[in-house]
Amino acid sequence: MTPTSRRPIPSRRKAATPGSATAVPAIGEIPIPAGKRAHPALGLGLWGLGRWGTEDEARTKATVARAWELGLRWFDTAEVYGNGRSERLLGDVLLRSHGGTEAYVATKVSWEHLRPSQVRAALVNSLERLARRSVDLYLVHAPDAHVPLAETMGTLEALWKEGKVGAIGVSNFTVDELEEAGRHLSSTRIAVNQVHYNLLNRDEGDAVRAYCRAHGILIEAYTPLARGLLHGRYLDGGRVPAEVRRYAHRLFEPDRLPQILERARALRALATEAGVPLASIALHWLADQGAAPVVGMSRPEQVEENLRAWSVRPSARVLARAEALARGDRA
Ligand SMILES: NC(=O)c1ccc[n+]([C@@H]2O[C@H](COP(=O)([O-])OP(=O)(O)OC[C@H]3O[C@@H](n4cnc5c(N)ncnc54)[C@H](OP(=O)(O)O)[C@@H]3O)[C@@H](O)[C@H]2O)c1
């Protein structure tokens, strides 16, 4: 199967209300069978702020505002991000300042709040911080082995019926967990599984992604730029900060790092040869797998650069070569 044939066909609609002279690429949307609205093909992830402590709030607000201006509509947050600070900031900037009815807002219930009363309370609190009556997508951030999925999914379905949740998703779920969760939904289905997925970290999740494709579950790819590695960061030396290494799914661990760096450098050389940004290859390779990348961005310039990268679609030959190089093929 060619990469292109696996890709759900995004409708390339024009982005709305650009607020500046910068060229605005169409972001695209992916229809999802179990969602009330089509799902934007590219999103802004709001994990970094608050969590890493040093984030400058004004800069983060400017980043969200710039994303909105340039047509990004999918914003991914979670109750645990900055202990609610991420949701509150998104609510402030996006919805209070800009109206935000067009926004596609996704948030997550913590793995510590999966009992029915906790799920309900968590959503009430998230909606209050986001200043919304409903979210477009509500994800279980990760399963908790001590809480039966029947309890969690039953409550999520009730919230979906009440219209507080446009679609139900999960994150970091294995095939067994997806099957178990799906069994406890009767009127709707799991719309999304958000997983760690990028060119440099993919084989481990093959079975999960195959299951999602077979069951019409959209894969949202988190850490799509491998924490900046797929922007060329750290490829010429430079210390990887501890907060970047942490939660990076072993990308930066000493037993793997030399190989990862070698492959990332080969990808960078391919990008240079093809005359495209490295991030274009990283993001469009994911899109060709049928995944929707959710990118962490902490500065307005990063939003601009990543949207420029999204607007350049590498050829099928370049993406196929990238796949081979990322697997370690040197020929
Ligand atoms: N469901 C889950 O369990 C889970 C787990 C992890 C992440 N996520 C979601 O996925 C989102 C993205 O993941 P991620 O932040 O881990 O990884 P990522 O998107 O691969 O990397 C984000 C980092 O790359 C750097 N970057 C972005 N654009 C850049 C540019 N144009 N030039 C240079 N560097 C650039 C920035 O680093 P600096 O900020 O240092 O400049 C940014 O914070 C998160 O925000 C969150 O919404 C979900």
Domain 27-326 fold is TIM Barrel (3.20.20)
Residue of the CA atom closest to atom 11 of ligand 1: 45
The answer to whether residues 123 and 116 touch, using CB atoms and an 8 Å cutoff, is no
Q: Is any ligand 1 atom within 6 A of the Cβ of residue 51?
A: no
Residue whose token pair is 């040197």: 330
DSSP string, 119-160: HHHHHHHHHHHHT-S-BSEEEE-S--TTS-HHHHHHHHHHHH
**Cβ neighbours for 31, distance < 8 A, ≥ 6 positions apart:** 8, 11, 38, 39
Q: Which two tokens stand for residue 168?
A: 């139900």
SS3 state at 170: strand
Cα 296 to middle of ligand 1, angstroms = 3
SS3 state at 102: coil
Task: Please work out, in degrees rounded to the nearest 5, the angle formed at the alpha carbon of residue 302 by the alpha carbons of 200 and 299.
Answer: 120
The answer to whether residues 232 and 278 touch, using CB atoms and an 8 Å cutoff, is yes
- Residues identified as active-site: 81
Q: Is any ligand 1 atom within 6 A of the Cβ of residue 298?
A: yes
The rounded distance, in Å, linking the Cα atoms of 251 and 152 is 31
Cα 53 to middle of ligand 1, angstroms = 15
Q: Is any ligand 1 atom within 6 A of the Cβ of residue 295?
A: yes
**Cβ neighbours for 101, distance < 8 A, ≥ 6 positions apart:** none
The ligand 1 atom nearest the CA atom of 171:
1
Q: What is the pLDDT along the chain (331 residues), one digit of tens a residue?
A: 233 333 333 333 343 333 333 455 689 999 888 878 999 999 999 997 645 555 578 888 899 999 999 999 999 999 999 889 899 999 998 876 665 678 999 999 999 999 999 999 999 999 999 999 999 999 999 999 999 999 999 999 999 999 999 999 999 999 999 999 999 999 999 999 999 999 998 777 889 999 999 999 999 999 999 999 999 999 998 888 887 887 777 888 889 899 999 999 999 999 999 999 999 999 999 999 999 999 999 899 999 999 999 999 999 999 999 999 999 987 6
Q: Is any ligand 1 atom within 6 A of the Cβ of residue 46?
A: yes
Using most ligand atoms within 8 A of CB, pick from 64, 66, 225 the residue to mutate for ligand 1: 225
The rounded distance, in Å, linking the Cα atoms of 90 and 13 is 24
Q: Is any ligand 1 atom within 6 A of the Cβ of residue 157?
A: no
The answer to whether residues 123 and 165 touch, using CB atoms and an 8 Å cutoff, is yes
Domain boundaries of the chain, sorted by first residue? 27-326
